[in-house]
Amino acid sequence: MAALPPQDLFAKDFPMPRKAVVRLSGLLTALVLLTACGPTADGNSLAGKASSGKLTIGIGVDQPGLGFQDLNGGHSGFDIDVATYVAKELGVDASGITWAPTVISDRAKDLQEGKVDMVVEAFSITDDRKKQISFAGPYFVAGQDLLVRLTSTDITGPESLNNNKKLCSVAGSTSAQDVRDKFAQGAKLVEYVHFTECVTALFAGIVDAVTTDDLVLAGLAAQNPELLRVVGKPFTKEYYGIGLRKGDTVSQAKVDAALQKMMDSGAWKASLQRNFGSSGYRIPSPPQITER
């Protein structure tokens, strides 16, 4: 039997005026086209916020080379460059960015409460964090390491921290606890709000080592190369992502595309060389952006 046109099928089983059939057919076509376009950005998404030409971005201010605020209030570092590049790709000039300092323990909460539109602050992608927020990236792969005094030749890795060595990191980070759980059960943990406080404690002999990602430590060591050194034996892999509100898939795709463009254009490598080249840190190849 020959196939009937759509209007004849409707007429056969559900008799109705021809005008109504045409109207219904048009509605169905519009619905198909709308579905084919996929999800769109709403006003509360990162992409939606960017359409206004303004964004509030959560950053670090005490991580030299990554996210640092100088005495004049200026911001610099690799994370700042990444955030500025991504914002530009989303349609927001540097003049439209409001930099919002956020401490490590509050990054996810600041996103959830709408205090910031995205977070670019050496934010490691973890399964626990993905329960609260979404991530774009990764845009860098770091490794956890140790920062020690130049004279502390007895500390050659995390296992060296046994015998009650004092290990410092910042509140909200899992770095110090990971060292204690996996490498040095005898280490004593000390926490501060900012990395600069950990470094001050290291200078004063209050702690024996500071732990976090090697990229952060390289920036801290570069400020005082005659007094501090990075051990240089990373023992984890930390995948840095850009924090977004949970489920913001449209913006996630746009940010991923911006990050890939930054890597492909050479701007990614140029920023790392500018911020860390003098520290002796070996610049790696860009990571592959993958499903999170």
Q: What percent of the chain has pLDDT over 90?
A: 65
Higher pLDDT: 83 or 183? It is: 83
pLDDT at 89 over 90: yes
Are the folds of 46-142+239-279 and 144-230 the same?
yes
> Could you give the count of Cα atoms lying within 13 Å of 274 in the half-sphere of its Cβ?
14
Give domain limits for the chain: 46-142+239-279, 144-230
Q: How far apart are the first and last CA of the chain?
A: 50
pLDDT tens per residue, range 245-278: 999 999 999 999 999 999 999 999 999 999 998 8
CATH code of the region 144-230? 3.40.190.10
Which of 227, 215, 192, 208 lies closest to 158, judged by CA?
Answer: 208
d(CA 80, CA 86): 10
Which numeric CATH code is attached to 46-142+239-279? 3.40.190.10
Q: How far is CA 159 from CA 53, 146, 187, 208, in A?
A: 50, 11, 9, 13
Model confidence over 39-73: pLDDT tens digits? 445 678 999 999 999 999 999 998 999 999 999 99
What predicted TM-score, i.e. pTM, was given to this entire model?
0.78
How far apart (Å, rounded) are the C-alpha atoms in residues 138 and 66? 15
Contacts of 234 (CB under 8 A, 6+ apart): 142, 143, 144, 145, 214
